Amino acid sequence: MRVLTDMPRTFTSATAFSLGVHPRDLYAWRDAGDLVEVSRGVFRRADAPLAAHTDLLAVAYRAPRAIVCCMSAAALHELTDEQPMRVHVAVPNGTHPPQIDHPPTKVFRFDPRTFELGLASAEAAPGETVRVYDPARTVVDLMRLRHRLGESTAHVALNRYMGRRDARPAQLLEYARDLGVVGPVRRSLDVVSAR
């Protein structure tokens, strides 16, 4: 019989069952407070180190192919002070989008040809990472979705990105070219550079 300390810090019910945990034991651990159900079918051990981004971790387990994007990525990379009300994730166009009620999630569909452009990872909890777009890709996505997510949000993210030591304007323009928004990104970069 498996004991809770044999389990990973975060895991799905499917993982638990595949490791020989009986559903009765899994839900007994949850009901006793030894596990926290962070999303339907996703559990985190109560003795695990504190997760900085529990919602992102939960969504990553529910939708492993998805990539944290837009406002969630901007918040993670400190490109905005806004805390999104929903976790923003991208999936490739033509795939079945995940249906996640908790945590509240907004799914964006991106072109499969550029889906993994700018893919990085970020630590959501000690030793546990999630897939996320890098800061430059995040800025470009905010620029190309500025009519949906807010023009000012995109410009704040661009300004913050350009103020970073690791800012790479050439990378922004390369991503903008690949994603079809080179004009707006170049104009915004010219305004930022002129200050």
Q: What is the pLDDT of residues 35-53, one digit of tens each?
A: 999 999 999 999 999 999 9
- Which pLDDT belongs to residue 1? 47
Question: Which residues constitute the domain of residue 126?
Answer: 55-194
Residues 61 and 144 in one domain: yes
Position 189 confidence tier, pLDDT thresholds 50, 70, 90: confident
Sheet architecture: strand order including 119-125: 105-110, 87-92, 67-68, 128-133, 119-125
One domain, residues 87 and 182: yes
pTM over 0.85: yes
Q: Identify whether the C-beta of residue 52 lies closer than 8 Å to the C-beta of residue 29.
A: no
**Could you tell me the CA-to-CA distances from 23 to 7, 35, 100, 137 in Å, in that order?**
14, 13, 22, 41
Determine the Cα angle at 174 with ends 137 and 135, to 5°: 20
| Judgement on whether residues 186 and 116 belong to the same structural domain of the protein | yes
Q: What is the pLDDT at residue 190?
A: 78
Quick check: 79 pLDDT over 70? yes
Q: Is the pLDDT of residue 67 over 60?
A: yes
Q: What is d(CA 99, CA 18) in angstroms, rounded to the nearest whole number? A: 23
Q: Which of 181, 183, 143 is nearest to 162 (CA)?
A: 143
Backbone φ/ψ region at 70: left (φ over 0), alpha (ψ -120 to 50), beta: left
The proportion of the chain whose per-residue pLDDT surpasses 70, expressed as a percent, equals 98
Tell me if 20 is assigned to some domain.
Answer: yes
Domain match, 99 and 174 both:
yes
Please give the share of the chain, as a percent, with pLDDT higher than 90: 77
